[in-house]
Chains A and B, each alone.
Chain A
Amino acid sequence: MIEVEHLTKFYGENRGIDDISFSIGKGEIVGFLGPNGSGKTTTMRILTCYMPQTSGKAKVAGFDVETHAMEAKRKIGYLPEHPPLYMEMTVRSYLGFAGRLRGMDRKKIKQRTEEVVATCGLENVASRIIGQLSKGYKQRVGLAQALIHNPEILILDEPTIGLDPKQNADIRALIKGLAGNQTIILSTHILPEVSLTCQRVIIIHQGKIVADSRLEELTKDQDLEHAFLKLVGFEQEEKN
Protein backbone atom coordinates (compact mmCIF):
# COMPACT_ATOMS: atom_id res chain seq x y z
CA MET A 1 0.00 0.00 0.00
CA ILE A 2 2.82 2.38 0.81
CA GLU A 3 6.16 2.33 -0.95
CA VAL A 4 8.92 4.73 -0.09
CA GLU A 5 12.21 4.75 -1.98
CA HIS A 6 15.25 6.84 -1.13
CA LEU A 7 13.11 9.62 0.24
CA THR A 8 15.06 12.73 1.22
CA LYS A 9 13.89 16.10 2.46
CA PHE A 10 15.97 19.19 3.07
CA TYR A 11 14.78 22.21 5.00
CA GLY A 12 17.17 24.74 3.55
CA GLU A 13 20.54 23.40 4.68
CA ASN A 14 19.08 21.06 7.29
CA ARG A 15 18.31 17.50 6.51
CA GLY A 16 14.84 16.46 7.62
CA ILE A 17 14.99 12.88 6.43
CA ASP A 18 17.85 11.22 4.66
CA ASP A 19 17.44 8.53 2.03
CA ILE A 20 14.80 6.41 3.73
CA SER A 21 13.12 3.43 2.11
CA PHE A 22 10.43 1.09 3.36
CA SER A 23 7.23 -0.52 2.18
CA ILE A 24 4.06 -1.34 4.02
CA GLY A 25 1.58 -3.97 2.96
CA LYS A 26 -2.20 -3.94 3.12
CA GLY A 27 -3.72 -4.21 6.57
CA GLU A 28 -0.50 -3.70 8.49
CA ILE A 29 -0.31 -1.52 11.58
CA VAL A 30 3.09 0.07 11.68
CA GLY A 31 4.51 2.09 14.53
CA PHE A 32 6.75 4.93 13.54
CA LEU A 33 9.13 5.44 16.40
CA GLY A 34 11.77 8.01 17.09
CA PRO A 35 12.89 10.84 19.33
CA ASN A 36 11.50 14.32 18.76
CA GLY A 37 12.82 15.89 15.60
CA SER A 38 13.88 12.59 14.08
CA GLY A 39 11.81 13.01 10.92
CA LYS A 40 8.58 11.17 11.73
CA THR A 41 6.32 14.10 10.97
CA THR A 42 8.32 15.01 7.87
CA THR A 43 7.83 11.53 6.43
CA MET A 44 4.12 11.60 7.19
CA ARG A 45 3.72 15.03 5.66
CA ILE A 46 5.32 13.85 2.46
CA LEU A 47 3.11 10.75 2.34
CA THR A 48 -0.02 12.89 2.82
CA CYS A 49 1.08 15.27 0.05
CA TYR A 50 1.29 18.12 2.51
CA MET A 51 4.75 18.99 1.28
CA PRO A 52 6.95 17.71 -1.51
CA GLN A 53 10.14 15.73 -0.97
CA THR A 54 13.52 16.99 -2.12
CA SER A 55 14.33 13.72 -3.85
CA GLY A 56 13.26 10.10 -3.93
CA LYS A 57 9.88 8.53 -4.54
CA ALA A 58 6.83 7.78 -2.46
CA LYS A 59 3.76 5.87 -3.59
CA VAL A 60 0.49 5.59 -1.73
CA ALA A 61 -2.02 2.97 -2.87
CA GLY A 62 -0.13 2.87 -6.14
CA PHE A 63 -0.25 6.63 -6.73
CA ASP A 64 2.87 8.74 -6.73
CA VAL A 65 2.44 11.52 -4.18
CA GLU A 66 4.09 14.04 -6.45
CA THR A 67 2.51 13.34 -9.82
CA HIS A 68 -0.86 11.91 -8.70
CA ALA A 69 -1.43 13.84 -5.49
CA MET A 70 -5.23 14.13 -5.90
CA GLU A 71 -5.72 10.37 -6.23
CA ALA A 72 -3.31 9.64 -3.40
CA LYS A 73 -5.04 12.14 -1.08
CA ARG A 74 -8.40 10.41 -1.63
CA LYS A 75 -6.98 7.17 -0.25
CA ILE A 76 -5.56 8.68 2.92
CA GLY A 77 -7.06 9.71 6.22
CA TYR A 78 -4.66 11.91 8.13
CA LEU A 79 -4.61 13.06 11.71
CA PRO A 80 -1.84 15.64 12.06
CA GLU A 81 0.04 16.11 15.30
CA HIS A 82 -2.10 19.16 15.95
CA PRO A 83 -5.68 18.21 14.98
CA PRO A 84 -6.93 20.63 12.31
CA LEU A 85 -10.17 21.64 14.01
CA TYR A 86 -12.36 24.65 13.35
CA MET A 87 -13.20 25.71 16.87
CA GLU A 88 -16.43 27.51 15.99
CA MET A 89 -18.06 24.53 14.28
CA THR A 90 -20.08 21.78 15.88
CA VAL A 91 -18.69 18.26 15.71
CA ARG A 92 -21.33 17.18 13.18
CA SER A 93 -20.93 20.16 10.86
CA TYR A 94 -17.15 19.79 11.01
CA LEU A 95 -17.34 16.13 10.02
CA GLY A 96 -19.72 17.10 7.22
CA PHE A 97 -17.25 19.70 6.01
CA ALA A 98 -14.40 17.18 6.10
CA GLY A 99 -16.56 14.72 4.14
CA ARG A 100 -17.44 17.28 1.48
CA LEU A 101 -13.77 18.18 1.11
CA ARG A 102 -13.17 14.53 0.30
CA GLY A 103 -15.86 14.70 -2.37
CA MET A 104 -18.47 12.54 -0.61
CA ASP A 105 -22.14 13.00 -1.42
CA ARG A 106 -24.76 14.11 1.07
CA LYS A 107 -26.25 10.71 1.77
CA LYS A 108 -22.91 9.06 2.27
CA ILE A 109 -21.77 11.85 4.58
CA LYS A 110 -24.84 11.48 6.74
CA GLN A 111 -24.37 7.75 7.06
CA ARG A 112 -20.62 7.90 7.67
CA THR A 113 -20.95 10.74 10.19
CA GLU A 114 -23.17 8.60 12.38
CA GLU A 115 -20.77 5.69 11.97
CA VAL A 116 -17.61 7.57 12.92
CA VAL A 117 -19.39 9.37 15.76
CA ALA A 118 -20.18 5.93 17.16
CA THR A 119 -16.71 4.51 16.46
CA CYS A 120 -14.95 7.41 18.13
CA GLY A 121 -17.37 7.64 21.07
CA LEU A 122 -18.61 11.12 20.25
CA GLU A 123 -22.36 10.50 20.69
CA ASN A 124 -22.65 12.81 23.69
CA VAL A 125 -20.85 15.73 22.12
CA ALA A 126 -21.85 15.48 18.46
CA SER A 127 -23.94 18.66 18.56
CA ARG A 128 -21.50 20.68 20.64
CA ILE A 129 -19.06 23.36 19.52
CA ILE A 130 -15.58 21.89 19.09
CA GLY A 131 -13.89 24.77 20.91
CA GLN A 132 -15.68 23.83 24.11
CA LEU A 133 -14.62 20.20 24.13
CA SER A 134 -11.90 18.70 26.28
CA LYS A 135 -8.57 17.81 24.77
CA GLY A 136 -9.38 14.11 24.64
CA TYR A 137 -12.60 14.74 22.75
CA LYS A 138 -10.86 17.12 20.35
CA GLN A 139 -8.35 14.41 19.58
CA ARG A 140 -11.18 12.01 18.86
CA VAL A 141 -12.88 14.51 16.59
CA GLY A 142 -9.58 14.75 14.73
CA LEU A 143 -9.54 11.00 14.40
CA ALA A 144 -13.19 10.94 13.27
CA GLN A 145 -12.27 13.46 10.56
CA ALA A 146 -9.52 11.13 9.32
CA LEU A 147 -11.98 8.21 9.19
CA ILE A 148 -14.97 9.92 7.63
CA HIS A 149 -14.30 8.82 4.04
CA ASN A 150 -13.37 5.29 5.10
CA PRO A 151 -9.83 5.59 3.75
CA GLU A 152 -7.67 2.62 2.86
CA ILE A 153 -4.72 4.17 4.60
CA LEU A 154 -4.71 5.90 7.95
CA ILE A 155 -1.80 8.11 8.95
CA LEU A 156 -1.84 9.20 12.57
CA ASP A 157 0.76 11.58 13.92
CA GLU A 158 1.06 11.13 17.68
CA PRO A 159 -2.61 10.27 18.15
CA THR A 160 -2.37 9.93 21.93
CA ILE A 161 -0.20 12.88 22.83
CA GLY A 162 -1.43 14.82 25.83
CA LEU A 163 -4.26 12.46 26.71
CA ASP A 164 -4.90 10.99 30.12
CA PRO A 165 -4.39 7.23 30.62
CA LYS A 166 -8.09 6.43 30.22
CA GLN A 167 -8.43 8.40 26.98
CA ASN A 168 -5.17 6.90 25.86
CA ALA A 169 -6.51 3.40 26.32
CA ASP A 170 -9.71 4.36 24.49
CA ILE A 171 -7.86 5.63 21.45
CA ARG A 172 -5.63 2.58 21.46
CA ALA A 173 -8.64 0.30 21.54
CA LEU A 174 -10.14 2.29 18.73
CA ILE A 175 -7.06 1.91 16.56
CA LYS A 176 -6.93 -1.81 17.30
CA GLY A 177 -10.57 -2.04 16.32
CA LEU A 178 -9.72 -0.63 12.91
CA ALA A 179 -7.04 -3.24 12.30
CA GLY A 180 -7.54 -5.52 9.35
CA ASN A 181 -9.58 -3.13 7.23
CA GLN A 182 -7.12 -0.33 7.11
CA THR A 183 -3.42 0.10 6.68
CA ILE A 184 -2.30 2.23 9.58
CA ILE A 185 0.88 4.16 10.25
CA LEU A 186 1.07 5.81 13.62
CA SER A 187 3.93 7.79 15.00
CA THR A 188 4.72 8.11 18.66
CA HIS A 189 7.53 8.39 21.12
CA ILE A 190 5.59 6.60 23.81
CA LEU A 191 6.99 3.10 23.73
CA PRO A 192 4.34 1.02 25.54
CA GLU A 193 1.83 2.28 23.04
CA VAL A 194 3.68 0.65 20.19
CA SER A 195 3.85 -2.72 21.85
CA LEU A 196 0.13 -2.58 22.55
CA THR A 197 -1.07 -1.63 19.09
CA CYS A 198 1.48 -2.30 16.38
CA GLN A 199 2.70 -5.43 14.64
CA ARG A 200 5.70 -3.82 13.07
CA VAL A 201 8.04 -1.05 14.13
CA ILE A 202 10.10 1.36 12.10
CA ILE A 203 12.57 3.28 14.20
CA ILE A 204 13.85 6.49 12.74
CA HIS A 205 16.68 8.54 14.14
CA GLN A 206 18.26 11.73 12.80
CA GLY A 207 16.44 11.27 9.55
CA LYS A 208 17.57 7.69 8.94
CA ILE A 209 15.84 4.37 9.50
CA VAL A 210 17.78 2.47 12.14
CA ALA A 211 15.43 -0.47 12.51
CA ASP A 212 12.54 -1.96 10.59
CA SER A 213 11.26 -5.25 11.90
CA ARG A 214 8.38 -7.10 13.46
CA LEU A 215 7.80 -6.27 17.06
CA GLU A 216 8.56 -9.82 18.27
CA GLU A 217 11.98 -9.83 16.65
CA LEU A 218 12.93 -6.49 18.11
CA THR A 219 11.88 -7.51 21.61
CA LYS A 220 13.28 -11.05 21.43
CA ASP A 221 16.20 -10.65 23.81
CA GLN A 222 15.51 -7.26 25.39
CA ASP A 223 12.50 -5.11 26.04
CA LEU A 224 11.44 -2.45 23.58
CA GLU A 225 12.76 0.42 25.61
CA HIS A 226 16.30 -0.93 25.69
CA ALA A 227 16.19 -1.87 22.04
CA PHE A 228 15.02 1.62 21.19
CA LEU A 229 17.61 3.39 23.30
CA LYS A 230 20.37 1.24 21.87
CA LEU A 231 19.31 2.01 18.34
CA VAL A 232 19.11 5.74 18.83
CA GLY A 233 22.46 5.78 20.59
CA PHE A 234 21.46 6.72 24.11
CA GLU A 235 22.94 3.66 25.76
CA GLN A 236 26.42 5.05 26.25
CA GLU A 237 25.11 8.23 27.76
CA GLU A 238 23.21 6.13 30.26
CA LYS A 239 26.31 4.29 31.34
CA ASN A 240 28.37 7.40 31.90
Chain B
Amino acid sequence: MRAVATIFWKEFKSYFISPVGYVVLTGFTALSGFLFYQFLGVFIRVTSLMRGLMEKGQVVREWTLVDDLMEPLFKDLGLFLIIMVPAVTMRLFAEEKKLRTEELLLTSPVRMGSVVLGKYLAALALLMLMLVPAGVYLIIVLVYGTETDTGTMVAGYGGLFLIAFSLAAIGVFSSTLTENQIISFFVCVVMNLFFFTVGLAGNSVQTITLFSQKINFGELLRQLSLMEHYNNFVRGMINSADIFYFMALIVFFLFLSRFSAERARRS
Protein backbone atom coordinates (compact mmCIF):
# COMPACT_ATOMS: atom_id res chain seq x y z
CA MET B 1 0.00 0.00 0.00
CA ARG B 2 2.90 2.31 0.80
CA ALA B 3 4.36 1.62 -2.61
CA VAL B 4 1.04 2.51 -4.24
CA ALA B 5 0.97 5.81 -2.36
CA THR B 6 4.59 6.55 -3.29
CA ILE B 7 3.94 6.01 -7.00
CA PHE B 8 0.62 7.85 -6.81
CA TRP B 9 2.10 11.04 -5.35
CA LYS B 10 5.06 11.03 -7.68
CA GLU B 11 2.85 10.68 -10.75
CA PHE B 12 0.22 13.11 -9.53
CA LYS B 13 2.81 15.79 -8.83
CA SER B 14 4.49 15.29 -12.16
CA TYR B 15 1.19 16.07 -13.91
CA PHE B 16 1.55 19.59 -12.55
CA ILE B 17 5.29 19.92 -13.04
CA SER B 18 4.85 19.25 -16.74
CA PRO B 19 2.19 21.19 -18.68
CA VAL B 20 0.03 18.06 -19.14
CA GLY B 21 -2.17 18.65 -16.11
CA TYR B 22 -2.90 22.28 -16.94
CA VAL B 23 -3.52 21.62 -20.63
CA VAL B 24 -5.94 18.81 -19.92
CA LEU B 25 -7.81 20.68 -17.19
CA THR B 26 -8.22 23.92 -19.14
CA GLY B 27 -8.80 22.08 -22.42
CA PHE B 28 -11.64 19.98 -21.13
CA THR B 29 -13.25 22.81 -19.18
CA ALA B 30 -13.11 25.18 -22.14
CA LEU B 31 -14.45 22.62 -24.62
CA SER B 32 -17.21 21.37 -22.37
CA GLY B 33 -18.18 24.93 -21.43
CA PHE B 34 -18.44 25.89 -25.07
CA LEU B 35 -20.50 22.80 -25.80
CA PHE B 36 -22.88 23.50 -22.91
CA TYR B 37 -23.28 27.10 -24.04
CA GLN B 38 -24.07 26.01 -27.62
CA PHE B 39 -26.52 23.31 -26.56
CA LEU B 40 -28.26 25.68 -24.18
CA GLY B 41 -28.53 28.34 -26.88
CA VAL B 42 -30.09 25.88 -29.32
CA PHE B 43 -32.42 24.54 -26.63
CA ILE B 44 -33.68 28.02 -25.77
CA ARG B 45 -34.21 28.92 -29.43
CA VAL B 46 -36.06 25.71 -30.20
CA THR B 47 -38.28 25.87 -27.12
CA SER B 48 -39.20 29.48 -27.84
CA LEU B 49 -40.58 28.34 -31.22
CA MET B 50 -42.41 25.20 -30.16
CA ARG B 51 -42.98 23.37 -26.93
CA GLY B 52 -42.31 19.91 -28.23
CA LEU B 53 -42.18 17.39 -31.02
CA MET B 54 -45.12 18.22 -33.33
CA GLU B 55 -47.23 15.72 -35.21
CA LYS B 56 -50.37 16.82 -37.06
CA GLY B 57 -50.48 20.06 -35.10
CA GLN B 58 -50.28 18.26 -31.75
CA VAL B 59 -47.39 18.21 -29.31
CA VAL B 60 -46.55 14.53 -28.94
CA ARG B 61 -43.52 14.96 -26.72
CA GLU B 62 -42.45 18.07 -24.87
CA TRP B 63 -38.84 19.18 -24.93
CA THR B 64 -37.28 18.78 -21.52
CA LEU B 65 -33.99 19.94 -20.07
CA VAL B 66 -33.04 16.41 -19.12
CA ASP B 67 -33.81 14.67 -22.42
CA ASP B 68 -32.92 17.39 -24.85
CA LEU B 69 -30.12 19.29 -23.17
CA MET B 70 -28.32 17.19 -20.59
CA GLU B 71 -28.57 13.82 -22.32
CA PRO B 72 -26.90 14.93 -25.57
CA LEU B 73 -24.40 16.98 -23.55
CA PHE B 74 -23.35 13.99 -21.48
CA LYS B 75 -23.12 11.82 -24.59
CA ASP B 76 -20.83 14.32 -26.28
CA LEU B 77 -18.69 14.79 -23.18
CA GLY B 78 -18.30 11.01 -23.13
CA LEU B 79 -16.95 11.24 -26.68
CA PHE B 80 -14.53 13.98 -25.61
CA LEU B 81 -13.08 11.55 -23.13
CA ILE B 82 -11.95 9.31 -26.01
CA ILE B 83 -9.17 11.81 -26.65
CA MET B 84 -8.81 13.48 -23.23
CA VAL B 85 -8.09 10.27 -21.31
CA PRO B 86 -5.22 9.04 -23.54
CA ALA B 87 -3.62 12.46 -23.19
CA VAL B 88 -3.56 11.86 -19.44
CA THR B 89 -2.40 8.24 -19.51
CA MET B 90 -0.06 8.09 -22.51
CA ARG B 91 3.12 8.95 -20.62
CA LEU B 92 2.61 6.78 -17.52
CA PHE B 93 4.69 3.81 -18.66
CA ALA B 94 5.92 4.95 -22.07
CA GLU B 95 8.05 7.69 -20.53
CA GLU B 96 9.58 5.30 -18.00
CA LYS B 97 10.63 3.07 -20.86
CA LYS B 98 11.97 5.90 -22.95
CA LEU B 99 14.04 7.47 -20.17
CA ARG B 100 14.93 4.01 -18.80
CA THR B 101 13.69 4.95 -15.37
CA GLU B 102 11.71 1.73 -15.23
CA GLU B 103 15.01 0.10 -14.31
CA LEU B 104 14.69 1.83 -10.93
CA LEU B 105 11.14 0.58 -10.42
CA LEU B 106 11.93 -2.96 -11.52
CA THR B 107 14.96 -3.26 -9.26
CA SER B 108 13.23 -1.75 -6.22
CA PRO B 109 11.38 -3.96 -3.76
CA VAL B 110 7.93 -3.03 -5.06
CA ARG B 111 5.45 -5.22 -6.86
CA MET B 112 4.46 -4.38 -10.40
CA GLY B 113 0.84 -4.51 -9.32
CA SER B 114 1.47 -1.62 -6.91
CA VAL B 115 3.17 0.40 -9.65
CA VAL B 116 0.26 -0.11 -12.05
CA LEU B 117 -2.28 0.75 -9.37
CA GLY B 118 -0.40 3.85 -8.22
CA LYS B 119 -0.14 5.17 -11.73
CA TYR B 120 -3.76 4.34 -12.50
CA LEU B 121 -4.97 6.14 -9.37
CA ALA B 122 -2.89 9.20 -10.24
CA ALA B 123 -4.59 9.33 -13.65
CA LEU B 124 -7.99 8.95 -11.94
CA ALA B 125 -7.24 11.82 -9.59
CA LEU B 126 -6.44 14.12 -12.49
CA LEU B 127 -9.52 12.96 -14.43
CA MET B 128 -11.69 13.66 -11.40
CA LEU B 129 -10.24 17.15 -11.14
CA MET B 130 -11.06 17.52 -14.82
CA LEU B 131 -14.66 16.34 -14.51
CA VAL B 132 -15.61 18.13 -11.30
CA PRO B 133 -15.96 21.57 -12.97
CA ALA B 134 -18.42 20.00 -15.43
CA GLY B 135 -20.74 19.65 -12.43
CA VAL B 136 -21.39 23.38 -12.80
CA TYR B 137 -23.63 22.71 -15.81
CA LEU B 138 -25.66 20.36 -13.71
CA ILE B 139 -26.02 22.99 -11.01
CA ILE B 140 -26.97 25.68 -13.52
CA VAL B 141 -29.74 23.51 -14.94
CA LEU B 142 -30.94 22.46 -11.49
CA VAL B 143 -31.05 26.01 -10.17
CA TYR B 144 -32.51 27.79 -13.18
CA GLY B 145 -34.44 25.00 -14.88
CA THR B 146 -37.95 23.87 -14.16
CA GLU B 147 -39.30 20.33 -14.04
CA THR B 148 -35.84 18.82 -13.89
CA ASP B 149 -35.18 15.29 -12.81
CA THR B 150 -32.23 15.48 -10.46
CA GLY B 151 -31.73 11.72 -10.26
CA THR B 152 -31.38 11.25 -14.01
CA MET B 153 -28.88 14.05 -14.35
CA VAL B 154 -26.76 12.88 -11.42
CA ALA B 155 -26.75 9.36 -12.88
CA GLY B 156 -25.56 10.74 -16.21
CA TYR B 157 -22.84 12.76 -14.49
CA GLY B 158 -21.76 9.69 -12.51
CA GLY B 159 -21.68 7.69 -15.72
CA LEU B 160 -19.23 10.19 -17.13
CA PHE B 161 -16.83 9.39 -14.27
CA LEU B 162 -17.21 5.66 -14.86
CA ILE B 163 -16.44 6.13 -18.57
CA ALA B 164 -13.34 8.12 -17.68
CA PHE B 165 -12.18 5.47 -15.19
CA SER B 166 -12.66 2.67 -17.72
CA LEU B 167 -10.89 4.49 -20.51
CA ALA B 168 -8.03 5.26 -18.10
CA ALA B 169 -7.50 1.55 -17.49
CA ILE B 170 -7.31 1.03 -21.25
CA GLY B 171 -4.93 3.98 -21.43
CA VAL B 172 -2.60 2.56 -18.78
CA PHE B 173 -2.47 -0.67 -20.73
CA SER B 174 -1.68 0.98 -24.04
CA SER B 175 1.07 2.95 -22.30
CA THR B 176 2.78 -0.28 -21.29
CA LEU B 177 2.97 -1.42 -24.90
CA THR B 178 5.43 1.12 -26.27
CA GLU B 179 8.07 3.64 -25.34
CA ASN B 180 6.60 6.16 -27.76
CA GLN B 181 3.97 8.40 -26.20
CA ILE B 182 2.36 9.27 -29.54
CA ILE B 183 1.87 5.60 -30.37
CA SER B 184 0.55 5.01 -26.86
CA PHE B 185 -1.93 7.84 -27.40
CA PHE B 186 -3.25 6.53 -30.71
CA VAL B 187 -3.43 2.90 -29.62
CA CYS B 188 -5.55 4.08 -26.71
CA VAL B 189 -7.80 6.22 -28.94
CA VAL B 190 -8.37 3.28 -31.29
CA MET B 191 -9.18 0.92 -28.41
CA ASN B 192 -11.51 3.52 -26.91
CA LEU B 193 -13.30 3.94 -30.23
CA PHE B 194 -13.64 0.19 -30.50
CA PHE B 195 -15.28 -0.05 -27.11
CA PHE B 196 -17.54 2.87 -27.88
CA THR B 197 -18.72 1.72 -31.29
CA VAL B 198 -18.66 -2.06 -31.18
CA GLY B 199 -22.34 -2.07 -30.15
CA LEU B 200 -23.37 -0.31 -33.36
CA ALA B 201 -22.41 -3.40 -35.31
CA GLY B 202 -24.78 -5.36 -33.12
CA ASN B 203 -27.80 -4.08 -35.03
CA SER B 204 -26.72 -5.63 -38.30
CA VAL B 205 -25.54 -8.98 -36.95
CA GLN B 206 -27.98 -11.84 -36.67
CA THR B 207 -28.10 -14.77 -34.33
CA ILE B 208 -25.36 -17.22 -35.13
CA THR B 209 -25.12 -20.90 -34.43
CA LEU B 210 -22.01 -22.11 -32.66
CA PHE B 211 -21.58 -25.70 -31.48
CA SER B 212 -25.30 -26.19 -32.20
CA GLN B 213 -26.07 -23.40 -29.68
CA LYS B 214 -27.94 -20.37 -30.85
CA ILE B 215 -26.07 -17.27 -29.80
CA ASN B 216 -27.45 -13.79 -30.18
CA PHE B 217 -24.25 -12.28 -31.49
CA GLY B 218 -25.77 -8.84 -31.98
CA GLU B 219 -26.78 -8.67 -28.33
CA LEU B 220 -23.32 -9.88 -27.32
CA LEU B 221 -21.67 -7.04 -29.22
CA ARG B 222 -24.07 -4.52 -27.73
CA GLN B 223 -23.29 -5.77 -24.23
CA LEU B 224 -19.57 -5.38 -24.95
CA SER B 225 -19.98 -1.74 -25.85
CA LEU B 226 -19.21 1.06 -23.42
CA MET B 227 -21.75 3.30 -25.10
CA GLU B 228 -24.60 0.89 -24.44
CA HIS B 229 -23.92 0.83 -20.71
CA TYR B 230 -23.19 4.53 -20.54
CA ASN B 231 -26.48 5.36 -22.25
CA ASN B 232 -28.33 3.56 -19.48
CA PHE B 233 -26.70 5.91 -16.99
CA VAL B 234 -27.48 8.95 -19.11
CA ARG B 235 -31.13 7.91 -19.26
CA GLY B 236 -31.09 7.68 -15.47
CA MET B 237 -31.06 3.93 -15.12
CA ILE B 238 -28.47 2.57 -12.72
CA ASN B 239 -28.22 -1.21 -13.00
CA SER B 240 -25.81 -3.39 -11.10
CA ALA B 241 -25.06 -5.08 -14.43
CA ASP B 242 -23.77 -1.81 -15.89
CA ILE B 243 -21.64 -1.06 -12.84
CA PHE B 244 -20.31 -4.60 -12.97
CA TYR B 245 -19.42 -4.11 -16.63
CA PHE B 246 -17.30 -1.02 -15.86
CA MET B 247 -15.61 -2.70 -12.91
CA ALA B 248 -14.83 -5.80 -14.97
CA LEU B 249 -13.37 -3.69 -17.77
CA ILE B 250 -11.15 -1.76 -15.34
CA VAL B 251 -9.90 -4.85 -13.53
CA PHE B 252 -9.29 -6.68 -16.80
CA PHE B 253 -7.16 -3.92 -18.28
CA LEU B 254 -5.22 -3.30 -15.08
CA PHE B 255 -4.31 -6.97 -14.91
CA LEU B 256 -3.32 -6.87 -18.55
CA SER B 257 -1.17 -3.80 -17.81
CA ARG B 258 0.61 -5.54 -14.97
CA PHE B 259 1.29 -8.49 -17.19
CA SER B 260 2.52 -6.32 -20.03
CA ALA B 261 4.73 -4.18 -17.77
CA GLU B 262 6.31 -7.28 -16.23
CA ARG B 263 7.03 -8.64 -19.68
CA ALA B 264 9.41 -5.73 -20.27
CA ARG B 265 12.04 -7.38 -18.07
CA ARG B 266 11.79 -10.68 -19.90
CA SER B 267 12.81 -9.45 -23.32
Contact = CB atoms under 8 A, between A and B. Distances in A.
B150 to A, nearest CB: 43
B23 to A, nearest CB: 15
A86 interface: yes
B265 A50 contact: yes
Contacts, number: 67
B58 interface: no
A145 interface: yes
A162 B23 CA distance: 37
B64 to A, nearest CB: 48
Interface in A73-103: 73-74, 76, 78, 80, 82, 84-89, 97-98, 100-103
A97 B6 contact: yes
A71 to B, nearest CB: 8
A74 B265 contact: no
B108 A88 contact: no
Given A51-B265, A51-B266, A52-B266, A103 B100 contact: no
A89 B99 CA distance: 13
A11 B101 CA distance: 22
Contact of B101 (A49, A84, A102): A84
Most chain B CB within a 10 A radius of its CB, from A84, A89, A98: A84
Contacts of A179: none
Contacts of A48: 107
B119 to A, nearest CB: 13
* Chain B interface bracket (under 10, 10 to 19, 20 to 34, 35 or more): 20 to 34
Nearest to A86: B101
B104 A145 contact: yes
Nearest to A11: B267
A101 B110 contact: yes
Interface in B105-132: 105-111
Range, interface on chain A: 20 to 34
Nearest to A75: B109
B116 to A, nearest CB: 15
A196 interface: no
A100 B2 contact: yes
Given A80-B100, A86-B101, A103 B109 contact: yes
A118 interface: no
Contact of A50 (B3, B107, B109, B110): B107
A78 B107 contact: yes
Interface string B84-115: 00000000000000011111111111110000
A49 B107 contact: yes
B265 A82 contact: no
B17 interface: yes
Contact of A100 (B6, B106, B111, B266): B6
Interface of B: 2-3, 6, 10, 14, 17-18, 99-111, 265-267
